[in-house]
């Protein structure tokens, strides 16, 4: 049986449209519209190209789909809007079901984890009139919701308000998180949100009500926030100051306290449970997630598609269960489109680009990294989620801090306070980082403390607070990327490289070979591998 999960802009303010396809319970494709349209986050847009990409990957026709599932159960007209859209695209609409936005988050993370049973947590700004859910789940019985938290008590909204206050916009919460270690948590924000024994209490009156924002670039907070703090918000192009650094640190600390309070209550609800699964936009906060590793659970899985990028995945899983299929875990995130060697070579020739075919891209790539070259790495199927995980990545040596500045100056042009992340051989992580009891961190969903004696050898990927957002790589999930790092380790003695997403500032991650070429020639990259083809400047 075939289930298609969809998410997109049929209601105001939706973003990150995507499509996911489950065939007999197995996820065969998860595609994001932004990669194909080349517009980051695709606010208010529908997943037209993502749907077609899923069909192409699976090699199926529209008429073979047994069910379509979408979030939006609290919106009466959602089903009719989707039906009309799908009939417009394909001439028909199969069985159609709606689920709760937060349930879709829970399903994405629980079924994706592969755990037999788990405590489940979803937290975001808002979705279907809730800002999160807790639940318990078993593979046989599915997900049972134990708490539904109303939007008016949103931890995600709190974080987003403070993101705006510090001069960023919706979707820039990761910048506030990156800024936080530069400040001190000295600003009292407990008038906005305060931890309680089983979570927190948020004062919704700090959210702007009149006029309501019409675009993601308008401030979200009420004017009284500036009155409370006694200082105006930072304008986007103003220099960063200690005040905003301290606000960022205080926001992060308070958010972590609230999160841990809720997780503590979940532990008390079910003290025997060993597994925690977590998704929703708040789960992108990898700095806060580090503390979940010490919160009493033996295994913590944070979905690699935590934000609304993962709703289609959750819907596909829920569709599979509605059809009587047993969901399979998502073993990795390489669920997008791949490009054949013939199509890559055709693109290179059509553009008159000098290239050569190499015998082993991993070995050649490692040599270039050891020579301090900055390399574009486009391989296999594109990865779903906010992070490039070795198939659409820009990679470089991380042994001196100068490489971070070089990548920033030549390619990324991003705020100097934002850290770059490392990819390392899975077997090396315990030697390099305090893993807090874990041994596998394949999705960059947690930060870990670098062992001080090892930090010097990987300066470019250790943040000012001594942490890194790590990716561990196993050959079983990405053989080519693992091989690259292994060759690099043999050459340099360091089993870790810098990995940042293959895009320019403000753009989505590259999808096609053509996107990779356009980016390569539009920035200071030294070399580009597309499959086994090497292009150099």
Provide the binding-site residues for Fe ion, judged by CB under 5 A. 124, 127, 308
Q: Which is nearer to Fe ion, 124 or 172 (CB)?
A: 124
Task: Give the closest residue to 425 by CA, choosing from 473, 387, 376, 358.
Answer: 473
Are 54 and 82 a contacting pair, CB within 8 Å?
A: no
Distance from C-alpha of 497 to C-alpha of 399, rounded to nearest angstrom: 8
**Smallest separation (angstroms) from Fe ion to the CB of 286:** 17
Q: Which is nearer to Fe ion, 170 or 364 (CB)?
A: 170
Helices (H) and strands (E) in the chain — how many of each? 17, 23
**Smallest separation (angstroms) from Fe ion to the CB of 477:** 26
Distance from C-alpha of 309 to C-alpha of 283, rounded to nearest angstrom: 12
- Residue 513 contacts by C-beta under 8 Å, 6 or more apart in sequence? 339, 343, 344, 347, 348, 378, 530
Q: Which is nearer to Fe ion, 308 or 515 (CB)?
A: 308
Enter the tokens of residue 210.
């009149």
Q: Which is nearer to Fe ion, 308 or 532 (CB)?
A: 308
- In the DSSP assignment, the letter for residue 207 is B
Sign of CA dihedral 365, 367, 370, 373: negative
The tally of CA atoms less than 13 A away on the side-chain side of residue 359 is 1
Q: Give me the catalytic one of 7, 15, 100, 482.
A: 15
Bridge-based pairing state of the strands 375-378 and 392-396: antiparallel
Name the 3-class secondary structure at 93. Answer: coil
Distance from C-alpha of 190 to C-alpha of 174, rounded to nearest angstrom: 21
**Smallest separation (angstroms) from Fe ion to the CB of 308:** 5
**Smallest separation (angstroms) from Fe ion to the CB of 75:** 14
**Smallest separation (angstroms) from Fe ion to the CB of 306:** 9
**Smallest separation (angstroms) from Fe ion to the CB of 5:** 14
Residue 88 is a catalytic residue: no
Q: Which is nearer to Fe ion, 124 or 515 (CB)?
A: 124
Q: Which H/E stretch holds residue 90?
A: helix 78-90
Q: Which is nearer to Fe ion, 108 or 411 (CB)?
A: 108
- Residue 77 contacts by C-beta under 8 Å, 6 or more apart in sequence? none
Q: Which is nearer to Fe ion, 102 or 250 (CB)?
A: 102
User: What is the crossing angle of helices 242-269 and 155-165, to 10°?
Assistant: 170
Name the 3-class secondary structure at 439. Answer: coil
Residue 116 neighbours by CB distance under 10 Å: 10
Sequence-ordered alpha helix ranges (H) in 438-537: 452-455, 479-492, 513-521
- Determine whether 436 is exposed, middle or buried from the number of CB atoms within 10 Å of its CB (0-12, 13-18, 19+): middle
Are 22 and 322 a contacting pair, CB within 8 Å?
A: no
**Smallest separation (angstroms) from Fe ion to the CB of 17:** 13
Q: Which is nearer to Fe ion, 172 or 246 (CB)?
A: 172
Enter the tokens of residue 317.
């899983």
Distance from C-alpha of 45 to C-alpha of 63, rounded to nearest angstrom: 24
**Smallest separation (angstroms) from Fe ion to the CB of 427:** 35
Percent helix, strand, coil in the chain (nearest 5)? 40, 20, 40
Residue with nearest beta carbon to Fe ion: 124
SS (H, E, C) 1-69: CEEEEEECCCCCCCCCCEEEEEECCEEEEEEEHHHHHCCCCCCCCCCHHHHHHHHHHHCCCHHHCCEEE
**Smallest separation (angstroms) from Fe ion to the CB of 461:** 29
**Smallest separation (angstroms) from Fe ion to the CB of 148:** 13
Q: Which is nearer to Fe ion, 118 or 312 (CB)?
A: 312
Q: Catalytic positions, please?
A: 15
């Amino acid at each position: 049986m075939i289930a298609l999960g969809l998410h997109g802009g049929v209601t105001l303010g939706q973003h990150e449209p995507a499509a996911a396809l489950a065939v007999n319970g197995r996820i065969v494709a998860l595609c994001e519209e932004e990669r194909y349209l080349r517009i980051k986050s695709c606010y208010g847009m529908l997943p037209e190209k993502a749907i077609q990409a899923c069909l192409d990957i699976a090699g199926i026709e529209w008429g073979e789909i047994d069910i379509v599932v979408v979030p939006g159960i609290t919106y009466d007209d959602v089903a009719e809007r989707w039906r009309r859209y799908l009939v417009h695209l394909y001439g028909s609409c199969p069985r159609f079901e709606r689920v709760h936005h937060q349930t879709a988050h829970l399903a994405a993370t629980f079924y994706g984890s592969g755990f037999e049973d788990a405590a489940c947590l979803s937290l975001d700004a808002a979705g279907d009139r809730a800002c999160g859910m807790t639940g318990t789940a078993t593979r046989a019985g599915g997900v049972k919701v134990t708490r539904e938290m109303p939007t008016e008590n949103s931890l995600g909204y709190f974080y987003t308000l403070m993101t705006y206050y510090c001069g960023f916009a919706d979707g820039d919460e990761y910048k506030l998180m990156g800024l936080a270690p530069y400040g001190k948590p000295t600003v009292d924000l407990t008038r906005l949100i305060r931890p309680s024994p089983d979570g927190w209490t948020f004062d919704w009156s700090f959210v702007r009500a009149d006029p309501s924002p019409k675009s993601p670039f308008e401030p979200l907070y009420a004017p009284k926030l500036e009155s409370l703090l006694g200082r105006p918000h930072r304008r986007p192009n103003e220099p960063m100051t200690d005040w905003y650094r301290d606000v960022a640190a205080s926001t992060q600390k308070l958010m972590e306290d609230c999160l841990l309070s809720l997780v503590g209550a979940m532990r008390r609800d079910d003290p025997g449970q060993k597994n925690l699964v977590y998704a929703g936009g708040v789960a992108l906060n990898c700095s806060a997630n580090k503390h979940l590793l010490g919160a009493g659970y033996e295994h913590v899985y944070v979905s690699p598609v935590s934000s609304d990028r993962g709703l289609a995945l959750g819907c596909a899983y829920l569709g599979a269960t509605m059809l009587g299929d047993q969901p399979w875990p998502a073993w990795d995130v390489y669920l997008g489109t791949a490009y054949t060697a013939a199509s890559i070579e055709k693109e290179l020739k059509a553009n008159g680009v000098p290239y050569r075919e190499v015998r082993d891209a991993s070995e050649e790539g490692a040599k270039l990294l050891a020579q301090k070259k900055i390399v574009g790495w486009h391989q296999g199927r594109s990865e779903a989620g906010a992070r490039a995980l070795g198939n659409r990545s820009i990679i470089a040596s991380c042994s001196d801090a100068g490489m971070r500045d070089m990548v920033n100056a030549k390619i990324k042009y991003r705020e100097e306070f934002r850290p770059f992340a490392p990819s390392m051989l899975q077997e090396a992580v315990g030697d390099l980082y305090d893993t807090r009891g874990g041994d596998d961190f394949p999705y960059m969903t947690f930060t870990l403390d670098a062992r001080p004696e090892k930090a010097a050898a990987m300066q470019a990927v250790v943040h000012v607070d001594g942490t890194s957002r790590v990716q561990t790589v196993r050959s079983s999930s990405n053989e080519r990327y693992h091989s690259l790092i292994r060759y690099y380790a043999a050459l340099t003695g360091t089993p870790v490289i810098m990995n940042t997403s293959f895009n320019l500032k403000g753009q989505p991650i590259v999808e096609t070979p053509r996107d990779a070429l356009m980016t390569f020639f539009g920035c200071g990259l030294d070399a580009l591998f597309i499959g086994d083809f090497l292009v150099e400047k």
